[in-house]
Amino acid sequence: MVTARVPLTPHPDRLLPVGGAVRPIARRLYAAVRDLPIISPHGHVDARILRDDTPFTDPTALFIQPDHYVTRLLHAGGVALDRLGVGEGPLPEERAREAWRLFCANWPLFRGTPVQYWLASELAGIFGVTDRPDTADPDALYDQIAAQLSDVRNRPRALLDRFGITFLATTDDPADPLDAHAALAADPSVRTRVAPTFRPDRYLEVAGAGWVDAVKNLGAVAGVDTGHYDGYLAALEQRRRYFVAHGAVSADHGHADAAAIPLERAEAARLYAQALAGEVTAAAATAFRRHMIFEMARMSCEDGLVMTLHPGVYRNHHPATLAAFGPDTGHDIPTTVEFTRALRPLLERFGTHPNLHLVLFTVDPTVYAREIGPLAGFYPSLYAGVPWWFLDNPAAIRHFHESVTEIAGFGRLSGFIDDTRAFCSIPARHDMARRLDAGYLAGLVAAHRLDEDEALDTLTGLVRAQPRKVFKL
């Protein structure tokens, strides 16, 4: 273990290609987009922290507790999650400091991952940290950051401005009153457009725990009787309209698979009634959910919400961790995904509908070349979501370009999506994407596959025009 202090100085050329001929091209391309505003069409920041502009309490609450990227790697390295305050609110100072010390001491666990890359960018770029955490005095580092967090310039809204975020989508329950979003929209001092995202997963999983109460409540919020299938559909449609009226641009869906298979109306109504009665089988629940994904596409054609799909994750793989610390604590594990057959009925009906924008995300990278590239290379409604979650690293992003872009071109990409719960990582993640895209394009220029003006136009398009087009901003 290193003991002498080692400086933490993110290099201006970091992540750019190393080769002599490519780097200067990449530098020029990156320089053109480095300071462009950030558009974040999908993520997990809570609108209430922006509305309330509550100061972050301490470094642990900011960098460790909410970020399952950090806590899962520490857990794998032998640090129990309770020592990190996972699933808890702000910790008493001594516990927060102890978690921070663990974080610093275990900094080498993050080597080679994008997590270390982002954290280094954030610590140095936002808080002026100059020592590599594993070589620093962790308590001094804690004090240094904590002091800055109490500064008004580091409150959430100030950071939003400082990060240059012009559009930020949150992820929200369909029954959410969206009052935080309304307050932010009504406040002229907030220059960022903060949009909700309609995330109806639990209302579509009729065998899920609490579903009966959830749809009952949804009906109450929507002012519609969800005691029968037509009311359920009407409630969903009503809440989608409510979200649209509050600035939402997309509806987001994450289920076990991507299948969209319509049922006859009577059959759907029958299964719905069974579900309300608590008598639905697992197979029927799956059939109903697949039907509802089809219905969601129909509604997207009607109300214009962009539809994003990210299937194929085994949620809460370790039940004991779920029980002790809640969901989204680092043990959602990918499985194989299939789109070609799963989406065929949906695409048959809506694939060339002018109102549909369907963005496919995956954590199974085998579908990039095999399915997403070919589908996005034909259907005008279908876009390839850039790599996220387990695939948000430099190698996977290059693999994505080599798989999808080579087949479908740059015009079929979603633009960068950060998908993060770690507020301070937003600029680091977008900056990483800009560097990697600049590097990939520079490689095409160096191989004489693109002219540099084409590369520049493509890169600025990926940052600015493409997310606006795909997410209808």
Residues of span 368-387 touching a copy of itself by CB under 8 A = 369-371, 373-380, 382
Site for a copy of itself in 87-126 (CB under 8 A): 108-114, 116-117
* Residues in 417-446 at the binding interface with a copy of itself, rule: CB under 8 A: 443-444, 446
If binding is defined by CB under 8 A, does position 245 make contact with a copy of itself? no
Listed ranges 154-162, 290-298, 337-345, 423-431: which one lies at the site for a copy of itself (CB under 8 A): 337-345
288: exposed, middle or buried (Cβ count in 10 Å: 0-12, 13-18, 19+):
buried
| Nearest distance, CB of residue 408 and a copy of itself, angstroms | 7
Name which of residues 382 to 411 contact a copy of itself (CB under 8 A): 382, 390-391, 393-396, 399, 401-403, 405-411
Q: Which of 414, 415, 418 is nearest to 430 (CA)?
A: 418
Closest distance to a copy of itself from the beta carbon of 215 (Å): 29
Position among 28, 318, 421, 464 found at the interface with a copy of itself (CB under 8 A): 318
User: Please, is 280 exposed, middle or buried when counting C-beta atoms within 10 Å of its C-beta (0-12, 13-18, 19+)?
Assistant: buried
Phi-psi region of 4 (alpha: psi -120 to 50; beta: other; left: phi over 0): beta
Per CB under 8 A, 77 contacts a copy of itself: yes
Residues 298 and 325: beta-carbon distance below 8 Å: no
315 lines the binding site for a copy of itself (CB under 8 A)? no
User: Site residues for a copy of itself, window 9-38 (CB under 8 A)?
Assistant: 10-11, 13-16, 18-22
Give the C-alpha distances (Å, rounded to integers) separating 458 from 240, 393, 455, 464: 33, 21, 5, 10
Least distance to a copy of itself, CB of residue 360, Å: 13
Q: Least CB distance from residue 438 to a copy of itself, whole Å?
A: 13
Report helix, strand and coil shares of the chain as percent, to nearest 5. Answer: 55, 5, 40
Q: What is the DSSP string of 55-108?
A: PP--HHHHHTTT-HHHHHHHHHTT--GGGGTTT-SSPPHHHHHHHHHHHHHTGG
Q: Is 462 in the site for a copy of itself (CB under 8 A)?
A: no
Between the alpha carbon of residue 143 and those of residues 60, 119, 253, 289, the distances in Å are: 11, 17, 41, 50
Nearer to a copy of itself, 212 or 322 (CB): 322
| Binding flag, residue 335, a copy of itself (CB under 8 A) | yes
* Least distance to a copy of itself, CB of residue 202, Å: 22
Residue 282 contacts a copy of itself per CB under 8 A: no
